[in-house]
Each structure stands twice: as structure tokens, then as C-alpha cells.
Amino acid sequence: MRRFIILITVIVVCIGSFFLYQQIKKNNAVNNQHMFEVVMAEKMKMLYGQAQDWTTPVTLDIHDDRLSGDYKLMSEFLLTYWMQNIEARNEYLRALKAAHWDTFLDVGRLDRDRKQNYQETEKMFVDVHRISAEYENRRQKIHADAIDQAQKIAIEKEMRASLQTKLANNLKSDKAHDIFPIEQQIIEKAQVMFDMLKKYQWQAKDKTILFHESAQVKKFNSLYQDVLKLNAKMEKIKKNNVEVLEDEL
């Protein structure tokens, strides 16, 4: 009888210890998840602040001693992914600036360049197309590498599945809020405008371009208005993206 009581006591203690362990484990998981959210919010806010200045490379310490285990790995994975995307974008913008793309429609520059058979502008378009292609390839590689690494990251199965879902949703969201395709449309419009400048006679007057034929004027102005509309569309998407991110932060 005494042995039976001892056995029952041992079983009760074991069961109690098991449930206590499970409760502690559950509490730790909740605490770790909360700290993960805190750290990610802080880091993303820092990253967002740096991203506003595309002229300067992004620098962020992705490590944080407040996290450990799976949450630490997931945090570092996501922050690395976002850093790579932001820095790829900023390098693209810096390269466009270096190619003087922002001066394409400068009438004075075009007038001067006309005297040397548009050598400067021709090179500008070659550089812009190359820069755009390199950025698109880099974007695709970052996304492909992230998806591949998310399948292999050494974290719990459920967390890994959640991470993969977040990445997939993020890629879908990126497509809906991506301004890069619009930028490419602007480059295409600009190319047609440049082709007109090379093909038809024009003159510079009061910082504007004047063609001799009204049909040419109408077409050039229409292209310019298209560019303005595309720029406005980009600005609207940018503003919306900023508002969404600020709400999340």
C-alpha cells in the first residue's frame, strides 16, 4: 500500500512537473514573440529612417541580444532581406543620379548636346537601360535567394511555414505597390521624345523646346504629359507606402 501511494505521488509530481514545464515553455514563447515584435519594430523604424536618404548606404546592426533561438534567427533573416532590398533600390537611384538621368529634359543641356550629335544623351540612355536591367536582376535574385533560404532556415517547422507565407505575401504586395515598372514606362516615353528631338528640327526658347510642325508639338507635349501623369502615379504610390509603413511602425 505504501509503495502504491509512493508510486501515485511520483506520478502526480511528474505530471505536475510536466504541466509546469509546458506552462513555462508557453510563457517563454509568448515573451519571446513579444520581444521579437518589439525588436523588429525598433529595427524597422531605424531602417526606414535610413532608407529616406538614398544617397547614403544603409548600415544597420541586425543582431540584438534581447532575442535568442528561433526568434533571433527569424529577426536577422527578415532584417537582412529588407536591408538588401532597400540598399539595392538606393544603389539603383545613386547610379541613375551618376548617369545624370535627372537632367535628361534640361533644354540647355539638350541644345548643347545637339551640337555634338547627342553623344552625351545617347550614352545616358545606354547607361540608364543597363542600370535598370542590373537592378531588376538584383531584385529577382534577392527574392529568389530569400525564398530558398526560408525553406532551409533552422527554426521550428511552424515558424518556418509562417516565414515562407510572409515572404510570399510580401512579394504579392510588392507587385501591387512597385514603382519600378512605372519608372520603366517613363524611360520608354523619354526614349520616344529623344527620338523626336533627333529626327525633327527644333529650337530652344525660354527653356522650352519648340518644333516647327504643329503635329510634332502635339505629339511631344502628349508624351510629356504622359510622363507627368506617370510621375504623379509614382508619388501617390510612394505616399501610400509611407503611410502604411508608418501605421505599422
What pLDDT does residue 171 have? 73
Contact 115, 80 (CB under 8 A): no
The gap from C-alpha 61 to its chain's centroid, in whole angstroms, comes to 18
What pLDDT does residue 15 have? 42
pLDDT by residue for the chain (249 residues), tens only, comes to 544 344 444 444 344 443 433 443 444 455 678 899 999 999 988 888 888 889 999 999 999 999 999 999 999 999 999 999 999 999 999 999 999 999 999 999 999 999 999 999 999 999 999 999 999 999 999 999 999 999 999 999 888 998 888 888 777 766 667 899 999 999 999 999 999 999 999 999 988 999 999 999 999 999 999 999 999 999 888 877 665 555 554
What pLDDT does residue 8 have? 42
DSSP E strands in 33-179: the ranges are none
What pLDDT does residue 222 have? 97
The gap from C-alpha 184 to its chain's centroid, in whole angstroms, comes to 16
Least Cα distance to 78 among 196, 160, 190, 186 occurs for: 160
